[in-house]
Amino acid sequence: MHLDIAQVHKQFATRGGPLVALQDITMQVETGEFVCAVGASGSGKSTLLRLIAGLERPTSGTISVDGRGVTGPGADRGMVFQSYTLYPWMTVQNNVEFGLKLRGISARERRQQASYYLEMVGLAPFARALPKELSGGMKQRVAIARALANQPKILLMDEPFGALDVQTKETMQQFLLELWQRLGISILMITHDVAEAVFLSQRIYVLSASPGTIARELSIDLGQRRDYGIRRSSQFHHYCEDIMDLLRQSQRATFGVPQSIGP
Ligand SMILES: Nc1ncnc2c1ncn2[C@@H]1O[C@H](COP(=O)(O)OP(=O)(O)OP(=O)(O)O)[C@@H](O)[C@H]1O
């Protein structure tokens, strides 16, 4: 898998005139990588993910997966959003099967595939439950199972844990890391949570705002087997501070006054 984003520029027409949301974005994700794009509000993170997902078209520049240009949504890119996007009237099992059904996969194969991924996210006992019977963390695990069931080349995650309480968020981050290590999947996640990005990823693109540009690309070298203890290490704090400094600089440039940004 090779996701290639080359010199992407995105401009929106607004009542106040053209608004440049993204400018000259060049980035790559390779097979099995966990990459985060982190940036303050308005730095174009969601726009970037929507472009990769094929929900929007770039004004200029190109996006391709394994050399094939992205022209619309496709099963090769699985999406997980912040807000719960499960169909409330469908059981957990049917939610996970839905994409497979749209692709014409047989009922038997759908059932097997969905059960496999529900097992993987620890929700097999809830296959017949409705989304309203699940906690926020469980709903996001269903959303992840649903995305994985389509066997995408890359998982695109838009602040997937942003709506969860702190403890559930920590559990979900650990869960996602283990899933990533077990499956060897490629993940591109966007977040404004600097500590989350450092904890999860191998590489981070830091976006500055107005317009959204790549301020820095950093490799995170905290080893493969991460657990929560790593958050207490000086190396972890060092990475977080570096990134927050970049974000503060970007905010100062935007607003002209110092802003405080926390993890
Ligand atoms: N459809 C649209 N039409 C006009 N402007 C848009 C549209 N979508 C996004 N924008 C603008 O583009 C800029 C980037 O928005 P985007 O939502 O991508 O940022 P973000 O980094 O994801 O922000 P947040 O963290 O607050 O969600 C913002 O100024 C926003 O107002």
Ligand 1 centroid to Cα of residue 233, in Å, is 34
Q: Whose CA is nearest to atom 18 of ligand 1?
A: 44
Q: Are 140 and 83 in contact (CB under 8 A)?
A: no
Q: Looking at the structure, tell me whether residues 107 and 204 fall in a common domain.
A: no
Nearest to 180 by CA among 120, 127, 229, 132: 120
Residues 22 and 145 in one domain: no
| Pair 143, 181 in one domain | no
Q: Kindly list the distances between the CA atom of residue 139 and the CA atoms of 49, 112, 157, in Å, as whole numbers in the listed order.
A: 21, 20, 14
**52 and 161 in one domain?**
yes
Residues 132, 167 within the same domain:
no
Best residue for ligand 1 mutational test, from 47, 82, 254 (most atoms within 8 Å of Cβ):
47
Instruction: Write the burial class of residue 128 (CB in 10 Å: 0-12 exposed, 13-18 middle, 19+ buried).
Output: exposed
**What does each C-alpha distance from 96 to 87, 111, 144, 145, 209 come to in angstroms?**
10, 9, 9, 6, 36
Which value does ipTM take for this structure?
Answer: 0.97
CATH number of the domain encompassing residue 71 = 3.40.50.300
Which one-letter amino acid corresponds to residue 150? N
134 Cα distance to chain centroid: 22
Residue 20's pLDDT is what? 95
In a domain, 245, yes or no: no
Q: Examine the domain organization and report whether 159 and 57 are in the same domain.
A: yes
Distance of CA 40 to the CA centre of its chain: 15
What is the 8-class DSSP label of residue 212? B
The pLDDT of residue 53 is above 90: yes
Shared domain for 157 and 145, answered yes or no, is: no
Are 69 and 172 contained in the same domain? yes
Residues 198-251: tens digit of each pLDDT: 999 999 999 998 889 999 999 999 886 678 788 999 999 999 999 999 999 887
Identify whether the C-beta of residue 121 lies closer than 8 Å to the C-beta of residue 142: yes
Supply the pLDDT for residue 209: 87
Last residue of a domain, one of 130, 151, 172: 151
Query: Does residue 111 sit within a domain?
Result: yes
Protein residue with least CA distance to atom 29, ligand 1: 42
CA distances from 261 to 76, 141, 204 (A): 35, 29, 18
pLDDT at 261 over 70: no
User: What is the average per-residue pLDDT within 15-40?
Assistant: 96
Q: Which residues line ligand 1 (CB under 6 A)?
A: 12, 14, 19, 21, 39, 41-47, 192
Q: How far is the CA of 209 from the centre of ligand 1 (A)?
A: 10
Answer yes or no: is 219 within a domain. Answer: yes
For residues 135-155, average pLDDT:
95
Domain that holds residue 201: 1-76+153-227
| Dihedral, CA of residue 207, residue 212, residue 214 and residue 219, to nearest 10 | 20
186 CA distance to ligand 1 centroid (A)?
Answer: 25
Percent of the chain with pLDDT over 90: 84
d(CA 55, CA 73): 6
Closest C-alpha residue for ligand 1 atom 30: 42
Number of domains composing the chain: 2
Query: Is 100 part of any domain?
Result: yes
**115 and 169 inside one domain:** no
In a domain, 93, yes or no: yes
Q: Which of 121, 151, 181 is the last residue of a domain?
A: 151
Residue 60 lies in a domain: yes
pLDDT at 253: 73
* Final residue of a structural domain among 119, 151, 183: 151
- For 211-223, letters b (16+ CB in 10 Å) and e give bbbbbeebebebe
Q: Answer yes or no: do 60 and 48 share one domain.
A: yes
For residues 159 and 146, membership in a common domain is answered with no
Q: Tell whether 62 and 122 lie within a shared domain.
A: no
Helix (H/G/I), strand (E/B), else coil: 26? strand
Furthest CA-CA distance within the chain: 60
